[in-house]
C-alpha cells in the first residue's frame, strides 16, 4: 500500500528516521518489560519536580505505541503538548520538535501515512538545519532524561547527553540536575570511585539548590552510606517525613533494610498508602519479609512465615494486573517450607507464562526453581539444568551470577567425587555462555536499586 501523500513509503520512512524523537533514539527497551516500565514511568511523571515532563510524557507515548496502544500514546503526546506550552523559547521549540516527531511516527506505524506527512511538515519550520545550535542542548537533555527513566544501566549514555547540553548552556540548572542523576545511575552500575566522587559533588549541589528534590536526596544518601552515615540517615529521615513519591519511600525502606526490617516495613506501608498500585513496593515488601524471616529465631520463624504467606497471597489476588513475578517467587519459597508441591506449582504456572516475562524474571524463575531442586528435592541434575537455563540468558544480573556460583560449586563437587567429565562439561558451558554476553551493558528494565551491582558481582565471581 502506497502513502496517500506526495512521498513514497520508503521516502517517508527515511525522513522519519532522521528525526530527533523517542522513536529514533535507540533507547534499548526490552519488549518484555513494557508494563514494568510504564508503571515506573507513571510514578516518575507524577512525582518528579525537575523540568523533564515533556521528555517523560514522550517516552510514555513511545512505550504505549510499542505496546500497540496507539490511543494511549496519542493521549500522552497531547499531555506533553499542554505541558510544553508553558516552557521558554528553546525548551518549547525542542519539545515541539520531539512531540511532532513522535506524532509522525505513531501515525506512520498505524498506516496513516498522509497524517504522518502532515506532522513531518510541522517539524521542518522548527529546525531549518539538522542541528540548530539553540536546539541541541534541549534535545540532548530530553534524550538524557528518557534514557534515565528506562532505569537500565543507561547512566553513561545519559551522562554524555547532559555533558553536551552543558557545553552549550553551562548555567542551565535543569541540565545540571540531569547530569547529577546520570552520574548516580552510572555509579550504580559500575561502582567506580571517580564516578562516585563526581556524583556526590553534583548531587550535593542539587540538594542545596533544590531542597524538595527528594530523589536527589535519597541518591545522595546511598552514596554517603559508607562514609558519612549520620548525614545519610538524616537525608533518609527527611525523605520519609516529607516525600510522597513512592519510589523515594521504597529506596528509603531499602536503606533501612540491613539494620531494621521493622523500620523498613513501616516505610513500605507508608508508601503503599500513597500508591497501592506501584508494583515495586510489593517486591520490596516481599524482600523485607524474607529478611525478617532469615533473622528471626526458630520460635518466631513459623509465625512470620504464616503472616508473610497470607499477605503475599492477598496482594497477588488483589492486583492481577501488576507485574508481581518476583513477589510470586518469594511466596513460593515460603509455601515450600511446609508444602513443596505448592512451591513447584507456582514455578510451573510461571513457566507457562515464560514468553511474557522479562529476561530478569526468566532468570529469577530458573534460579528459584533450581534452588528448589537442589535444596528441597536433592536432585542435582534437575537443579543444574535450571541454573544453566538462567545462566545462558545473556544479561549480566545478580541472578545470573548466583547461578554461576552454584554451577561452579557443582563442578567442584563432581571433581571431588571423581567425575571429571561432568565437571568439565560445566566449565565448558560457562565459558561458552559468557561468549554470548554483549560487550555493552544491555538496556533492560531492571530495577537496579533493589539488587547488588552486577559488575561487582561479576568481579567476585571471576575471582573466586
pLDDT by residue (tens digit) across 102-161? 999 999 999 999 999 999 999 988 876 555 667 889 999 999 999 999 876 789 999 999
Q: What is the rounded distance in angstroms from the CA atom of residue 164 to the CA atom of residue 101? A: 21
**Residues 118 and 27 both lie in one domain:** yes
| Residue 388 lies inside a defined structural domain of this protein | yes
Please indicate, yes or no, if residue 230 is contained in any of the structural domains.
no
> Does 147 share its domain with 17?
yes
Could you report the per-residue pLDDT of 67-100, keeping only the tens digit for each? 999 999 999 999 999 988 766 777 888 999 999 9
Residue 454 within a domain: yes
Residue 235 domain-assigned? no
Q: Does 302 share its domain with 362?
A: no
Q: Which of 152, 174, 205 is the last residue of a domain?
A: 152
Q: What is the pLDDT of residues 177-187, one digit of tens each?
A: 999 999 999 99
Q: Spell 71-82 as b/e; 16+ CB within 10 A means b.
A: ebbbebbebbbe
The answer on 332 and 361 residing in a single domain is no
Supply the range of the domain harboring residue 29. Answer: 9-152
Q: Please give the model's pTM, rounded to 2 decimal places.
A: 0.87
- Residue 358 clears pLDDT 90, i.e. is over it: no
Q: How far apart are CA 29 and CA 44, in angstroms?
A: 17
* pLDDT tens, position by position, 166-177: 999 999 999 999
- Asked if residue 362 and residue 332 are part of one domain, the reply reads no
Q: Please indicate, yes or no, whether residues 293 and 369 belong to a single structural domain of this protein.
A: no
Q: Is residue 212 in some structural domain?
A: no
Whether residue 399 is found in the same domain as residue 450:
yes
In this predicted structure, the answer to whether residue 48 has a pLDDT above a threshold of 90 is no
Specify the CATH number for the domain of residue 411. 1.25.40.10
pLDDT at 444 > cutoff 60: no
Q: What's the rounded Cα separation, in Å, for the pair 209 and 217? A: 11
Q: What is the pLDDT of residue 131?
A: 55
Q: Are residues 399 and 459 in the same domain?
A: yes
User: Residues 248, 251, 255, 260: is their CA dihedral positive or negative?
Assistant: positive
Number of domains in the chain: 3
356, 359, 361, 365 alpha-carbon torsion, rounded to 10°: 100
Is the same domain home to 369 and 311?
Answer: no
What's the pLDDT band for 458 if we cut at 50, 70, 90? very low
Question: Do the beta carbons of residue 143 and residue 33 sit within 8 Å?
Answer: no
Residues 363 and 324 in one domain: no
In-domain check, residue 42: yes
Q: Output the pLDDT for position 405.
A: 96
Q: Among 17-21, 52-56, 239-243, 354-358, which stretch is predicted with the lowest mean pLDDT?
A: 354-358
> The C-alpha cell of 336 is what?
515450600
pLDDT > 90 in the chain, percent: 73
Q: Give per-residue pLDDT as tens, 5-32.
A: 567 888 999 999 999 999 999 998 877 7
In a domain? residue 3? no
pLDDT higher than 50, residue 346: yes
- How far apart, in whole angstroms, are the C-alpha atoms of residue 447 and residue 37? 10
pLDDT attached to residue 448: 43
- Whether 416 maps to a domain, the answer reads yes
83 in the same domain as 146: yes
* Interval 379-421: pLDDT, tens: 999 999 999 999 999 887 889 999 999 999 999 999 999 999 9
Torsion of CA 314, 317, 323, 324, to 10 degrees: 40
Same domain, residue pair 142 and 13 = yes
Distance separating alpha carbons of residues 392 and 79, to the nearest angstrom: 42
Amino acid at each position: 500500500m502506497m502513502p496517500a501523500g506526495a512521498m513514497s513509503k520508503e521516502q517517508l520512512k527515511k525522513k522519519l528516521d532522521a528525526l530527533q524523537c523517542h522513536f529514533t533514539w535507540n533507547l534499548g527497551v526490552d519488549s518484555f518489560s513494557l508494563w514494568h516500565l510504564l508503571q515506573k514511568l507513571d510514578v516518575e511523571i507524577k512525582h518528579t519536580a525537575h523540568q523533564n515532563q515533556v521528555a517523560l510524557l514522550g517516552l510514555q507515548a513511545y512505550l504505549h505505541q510499542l505496546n500497540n496502544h496507539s490511543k494511549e500514546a496519542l493521549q500522552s503526546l497531547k499531555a506533553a503538548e499542554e505541558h510544553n506550552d508553558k516552557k521558554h523559547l528553546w525548551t518549547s521549540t525542542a519539545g515541539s520538535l520531539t512531540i511532532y516527531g513522535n506524532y509522525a511516527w505513531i501515525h506512520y506505524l498505524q498506516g496513516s501515512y498522509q497524517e504522518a506527512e502532515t506532522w513531518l511538515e510541522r517539524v521542518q519550520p522548527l529546525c531549518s538545519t539538522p542541528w540548530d545550535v539553540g536546539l541541541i542542548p534541549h534535545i540532548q537533555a530530553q534524550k538524557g532524561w528518557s534514557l534515565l527513566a528506562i532505569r537500565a544501566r543507561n547512566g553513561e549514555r545519559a551522562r554524555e547527553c547532559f555533558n553536551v547540553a552543558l557545553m552549550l548552556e553551562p548555567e542551565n540548572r535543569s541540565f545540571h540536575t540531569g547530569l547529577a542523576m546520570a552520574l548516580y545511575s552510572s555509579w550504580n552500575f559500575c561502582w567506580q570511585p571517580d564516578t562516585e566522587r563526581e556524583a556526590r559533588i553534583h548531587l550535593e549541589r542539587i540538594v542545596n539548590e533544590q531542597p524538595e528534590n527528594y530523589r536527589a536526596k535519597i541518591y545522595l544518601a546511598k552514596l554517603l552510606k559508607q562514609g558519612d552515615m549520620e548525614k545519610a540517615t538524616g537525608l533518609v529521615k527527611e525523605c520519609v517525613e516529607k516525600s510522597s513519591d513512592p519510589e523515594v519511600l521504597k529506596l528509603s525502606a531499602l536503606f533501612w533494610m540491613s539494620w531494621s526490617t521493622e523500620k523498613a516495613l513501616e516505610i513500605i506501608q507508608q508508601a503503599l498508602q500513597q500508591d497501592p498500585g506501584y508494583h515495586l513496593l510489593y517486591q520490596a515488601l516481599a524482600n523485607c519479609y524474607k529478611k525478617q524471616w532469615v533473622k528471626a529465631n526458630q520460635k518466631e520463624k513459623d509465625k512470620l512465615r504464616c503472616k508473610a504467606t497470607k499477605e503475599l497471597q492477598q496482594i497477588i489476588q488483589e492486583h492481577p494486573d501488576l507485574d508481581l513475578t518476583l513477589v510470586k517467587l518469594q511466596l513460593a519459597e515460603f509455601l515450600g517450607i511446609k508444602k513443596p508441591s505448592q512451591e513447584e506449582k507456582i514455578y510451573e504456572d510461571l513457566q507457562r507464562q515464560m514468553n511474557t516475562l522479562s529476561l530478569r524474571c526468566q532468570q529469577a524463575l530458573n534460579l528459584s526453581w533450581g534452588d528448589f531442586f537442589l535444596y528441597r528435592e536433592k536432585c542435582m541434575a534437575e537443579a543444574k539444568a535450571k541454573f544453566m537455563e538462567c545462566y545462558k540468558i545473556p544479561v549480566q544480573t545478580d541472578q545470573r551470577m548466583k547461578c554461576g556460583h552454584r554451577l561452579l560449586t557443582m563442578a567442584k563437587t563432581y571433581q571431588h567425587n571423581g567425575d571429571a567429565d561432568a565437571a568439565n562439561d560445566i566449565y565448558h558451558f560457562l565459558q561458552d555462555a559468557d561468549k554470548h554476553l554483549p560487550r555493552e551493558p544491555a538496556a533492560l528494565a531492571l530495577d537496579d536499586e533493589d539488587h547488588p551491582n552486577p559488575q561487582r558481582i561479576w568481579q567476585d565471581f571471576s575471582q573466586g
